[in-house]
Chains A and B, each alone.
Chain A
């Protein structure tokens, strides 16, 4: 498996439900970041969680990090149609300069 793998690859839920996406990684990290991409557009940073943090909130987003399991989850509560997008986790690893390694993303569809 690669550094930074998202699960599931695709997720389809009804508006108002919560969406959970997971990310697993292999090597030690400095921080882990989540990004969102609307179709064909640039990625937008959502939230950064450092390796010494376990949970972080931003609006309807909640991110957890379990360094013992090398995994993170992104929870979007009370989903909206506008949340439809691809979500990527990126792990910041120490490799000379700090390098960001992106997973392949989870495609989230919110059905009205």
Chain B
């Protein structure tokens, strides 16, 4: 089944404790993205990657890192999480031009 998976689905952590949210897709898509969704602000892109070893900042990259060592994986790293990073996070993938497939979301709470 074609899908984007994310883990964990739910995470409660404390300020400053490094965390990684994994993302994997099985559709051989070149393009992968991370978004955060906040009430009243819609979906905002954090980082994106056009292919292996090619990543770039989206609209709200501060406080986040990503890597793309393999085509299928695109982890999101929060080196020192802060409460303003409490949000619902989505990973997504697509071919360079076409419909986008979203993961199920990761609800992150930073205390």
A interface list, Cβ under 8 A from B: 30-31, 33, 35, 40-45, 48, 88, 90, 92, 96-100, 102-105
Are the C-beta atoms of B40 and A104 separated by less than 8 Å?
Answer: yes
Given A45-B99, A45-B100: A40 touches B105 (CB 8 Å cut-off): yes
| Residues of B close to A99: CB separation below 8 A | 45, 48
B interface list, Cβ under 8 A from A: 4, 31, 33, 35, 40-43, 45, 48, 50, 56, 88, 90, 92, 94, 96-105, 107
Chain B interface, >50% SS class: strand
Chain A interface, >50% SS class: strand
Q: How far, in angstroms, from A102 to B41 measured CA to CA in the complex? A: 10
Q: List 15 A-B contacts (CB under 8 A).
A: A31-B97, A40-B88, A42-B90, A42-B102, A42-B105, A43-B43, A43-B90, A43-B102, A48-B98, A88-B42, A88-B43, A96-B56, A97-B31, A100-B33, A104-B40
Residue of A nearest to B104 (CB): A42
